[in-house]
Chains A and B, each alone.
Chain A
């Protein structure tokens, strides 16, 4: 694959894990336990009608809460999430998603359908893994330790 073909690949073709979804009134401690259990760093928060309400990430957990006591445990995730997060749609090209992540400093972009319902979440890891997979000579097939790489064209 050529680089500019890769840049145009639609988001729907990038393999990614299913989004972890919760309702706005879920308690923070339950969200934290769910994230830990699933090994994930972000949940998509849905309204009662199933549309996207926001996103809550491990960064929000660390920065937006007072952790000195355990009062935060029973608070609602809806009060600490990022509302109306930047999203991608199925047909957006990979390069567009990369730019949104870079400009906003985001590591996760919810993917929504035409009705505003979350259908997935694209993480920076998904994007990097996809790019690396298509350029294995650049990223994957490297010597295990950079110091073992030949420093001049004759090796040795």
Chain B
């Protein structure tokens, strides 16, 4: 299987769905709508990542808890200290977090911890669909072979 891409190949030229720590849930939802994103990254004044707020958090911590979207600070209902990855990490780490950890969004931060982007499950699906799509190419034996016979042996 050829999962050799780095996260940087997926997040180029993508805007961060960022909201400030003092924002309300309504502000975060607005940013998520604008960016057509299923999460918002909560950042401090230096754009360092403080938390993540997802559609699941909205369901469980806002709607089910019957909290006011206009009055509840997003910091109260976000997930704090989410596990982040860096742009040079392999996308297979993000897939691991999603498949094993059950996360649908992985925040991407620079070495100083500043939010750069988020990698979503949709990005991963696109990649896996490409990998599977390559299987249709009859020239591509590498995908079908469990090992490559380089000759030799006896």
Contacts and interface: CB of A to CB of B under 8 A. Distances in A.
A138 B85 CA distance: 17
B58 A128 contact: no
User: Which DSSP category, helix, strand, loop or mixed, fits chain A's interface?
Assistant: helix
Interface stretch (A75-83, A101-109, A113-121): A101-109
Contact of B143 (A4, A59, A133, A146): A4
B129 interface: yes
Residue among A2, A41, A61, A62 having the largest count of chain B Cβ atoms under 10 Å: A62
Interface in A47-83: 58-59, 61-63, 67-68, 70
User: Which DSSP category, helix, strand, loop or mixed, fits chain B's interface?
Assistant: helix
Nearest to B143: A3
Given A36-B64, A132-B95, A146-B90, 7 more contacts: A4-B144, A32-B63, A36-B59, A67-B26, A128-B124, A139-B92, A146-B93
17 contacts: A3-B1, A4-B144, A41-B59, A61-B55, A62-B58, A67-B62, A68-B70, A95-B129, A98-B132, A101-B125, A107-B121, A125-B104, A128-B121, A132-B95, A132-B96, A138-B3, A139-B92
Interface of A: 2-4, 7, 32-33, 35-36, 41, 58-59, 61-63, 67-68, 70, 95, 98-99, 101-102, 105, 107, 124-125, 128-129, 131-133, 135, 138-140, 142, 146-147
Interface residues of B, number: 45
B137 to A, nearest CB: 11
A139 B129 CA distance: 16
A139 B102 contact: no
A19 B105 CA distance: 23
A140 B100 contact: yes
